[in-house]
Amino acid sequence: MVAAAESFLAEHWSPDVDRRAWRERVVDERWAALRWPGEWYGRDLSDDDAEAVEAVFAQAGAPGPGQDRYNLWAGTLLAHGGDELKQQFLRPLLLDEVAMCLLYSEPGAGSDLAAIRTTAVRDGDEWIVDGQKVWTSGAQGADYGMLIARTDWDQPKHRGITFFWFPMRQDGVEVRPLRQATGDARFNEVFITGARVPDSHRLGELNQGWWVLQTALTYERAVMGVTQRRSEGSGGATAAAHGRIPTPDTSLVRLAQELGRSDDPVVRQDLTRLHAMRTVNEWNGQRAKAVADAGGTSPLASLGKLAMSGILHFAGHLQGELLGMEATLDGDQSPRARDANYSQLNAYFTSIGGGTDQIQRNIIGERILGLPREPEVDRGVPFRDVTRS
Q: Which amino acid is at 201?
A: H
Catalytic residue IDs: 220
Residue 79 covered by a domain: no
Residues 126 and 104 in one domain: yes
Residues 339 and 219 in one domain: yes
Task: Show Cβ contacts of residue 330 under 8 Å, excluding neighbours closer than 6 positions.
Answer: 337, 338, 341
Residue 91 covered by a domain: no
Contact call for residues 59 and 43 (beta carbons, < 8 A): no
Residues 203 and 218 in one domain: no
Residues 218 and 357 in one domain: yes
Task: Quickly list DSSP for 292-309.
Answer: HHTT---THHHHHHHHHH
Write down the pLDDT at residue 236. Answer: 35
The number of folded domains in the chain is 3
- Domain of 338 in residue numbering reads as 213-368
* Nearest to 202, CA basis, from 85, 51, 79, 60: 85
Pairing label, strands 100-103, 119-123: unpaired
Task: Show Cβ contacts of residue 258 under 8 Å, excluding neighbours closer than 6 positions.
Answer: none
Q: What is the C-alpha separation between 322 and 284, in angstroms, rounded?
A: 29
Residues 238 and 199 in one domain: no
Residues 200 and 231 in one domain: no
Residues 313 and 359 in one domain: yes
Q: What is the C-alpha separation between 233 and 318, in angstroms, rounded?
A: 9
Residues 35 and 53 in one domain: yes
Task: Quickly list DSSP for 224-263.
Answer: HHHHHHHH-STTHHHHHHTT----HHHHHHHHHHHTT-TT
Residue 78 covered by a domain: no
* Nearest to 66, CA basis, from 79, 82, 50: 50
Residues 144 and 240 in one domain: no
Q: What is the C-alpha separation between 323 and 360, in angstroms, rounded?
A: 32
Contact call for residues 107 and 387 (beta carbons, < 8 A): no
Residue 82 covered by a domain: no
Return the SS3 of 222.
helix
Residues 36 and 16 in one domain: yes
Residue 379 covered by a domain: no
Contact call for residues 185 and 179 (beta carbons, < 8 A): yes
Q: What is the C-alpha separation between 310 and 134, in angstroms, rounded?
A: 25
* Nearest to 158, CA basis, from 210, 88, 111, 222: 210
Residue 280 covered by a domain: yes
Domain boundary residue, one of 145, 174, 207: 207
Q: pLDDT by residue for the chain (389 residues), tens digit each? A: 899 999 999 999 999 999 999 999 999 999 999 999 999 999 999 988 999 999 999 999 999 999 998 899 999 999 999 999 999 999 999 999 999 999 999 998 877 889 999 999 999 999 999 999 998 989 999 999 999 999 999 999 999 999 999 999 999 999 999 887 777 777 899 999 999 999 999 999 999 999 999 889 888 776 665 544 444 433 333 333 323 333 445 689 999 999 999 999 999 999 999 999 999 988 888 787 777 666 656 678 888 889 999 999 999 999 999 999 999 998 889 999 999 998 898 888 888 877 788 988 998 998 889 999 888 778 888 988 887 76
Residues 254 and 334 in one domain: yes
